Structure 1
């Protein structure tokens, strides 16, 4: 493994559920502290870091729609939930000495910046962590699609999806003991097999723009650092 980062700029996708820790709802301060320190380690190593965060720990538009709410209204509520999470991550990151900016796809100028691609790139060049909130700003699109879109827009070298398992499996390893892990996978394989790594729109966007994707276990201490330093044994690689 190299002593210099293998990637100059990454985008890390976090689910809202990942922020809950062992709770059933909300934001865990322990998880926030852990994530902030993991991110600080790679920023100090010279990696430019962008984040996209979900809102499932607070609201999920699709779930609200199943309960009878108008889907577009539910999705807008979900987008606002991601802004709450983004502000929480910004606070955790800044408390340990880094600079961070939240950029929202919805205009909420009182609490965060509007998403402007060139401004986001400038923040990254200055070593600031940029947190993209409110998804794409459009209903019916997941935060996975937002992560793929923003990774392409800011010219990230790698899109990382942090999950609760150590990669992509043939089935849910928590439910199927016979499930086996993929070390590498192509986007076409993931699409053809309808593997639940990301939604189809996000996978197609990554494939068509030749974006490298890695799925890994966010709870493993030091895993993020090892990945950006070039350790190919962690998680599952998805490539063209």
Structure 2
């Protein structure tokens, strides 16, 4: 179910890229008409502040990296042009087999979605998603991922596999960048003991999802302390974090 080396080579360049709404909030404050950044600007911001972006930013960036390496890739998504929008990327190997690549949900690695491929299995698998086992059921036009969590509970997510026209995709991205949720969200993959786990800051609380369960971290009273903690797990510029968290605080009133 693993992707071939050429796809993994590109994917692993994004191993330390969080998915967050901080960059959206920060760039929304800039004096620009267009809010969806192109890849060149995203790279410049990454070099300056260590920042990445939301699922649209990550998908645009990933597709660009695949295409520059000669790998055919295209965006897929659901609920586009809405606050519930989520997008991912499909990358194809040399034989046209499709692999789901979802940086927005912080997968550890892409996963095969061709049900007719000899390596495809609908068994429960580890090593693809932080602290969670996954199971893939697929049709030509849709796949469903079942997430089996350490507490025995399961959740599901469906992906429409129809390619999204790039113009439509960029229009949906622009819509998303103009939609600012008052609650800050920051997710990243970090090493913990012998696994890659999921760290999340959401609504002024931080959680660590591991194979041993979900753990809530200590809360902080000051923005400066939260900025320090997020800097520790992500490497984001601390002053950028302070400025952005203060903007969220103002938005919440």
Same fold (TM over 0.5): no
Q: Which gives a bigger RCO, structure 1 or 2 (Cα 8 Å, sep 6+)?
A: 1
Q: Give the alignment's TM-score, normalised by structure 1.
A: 0.28
Higher helix share: 1
Q: Give the alignment's TM-score, normalised by structure 2.
A: 0.27
Higher strand share: 2
Which of these two proteins has the greater Rg computed from alpha carbons?
A: 2
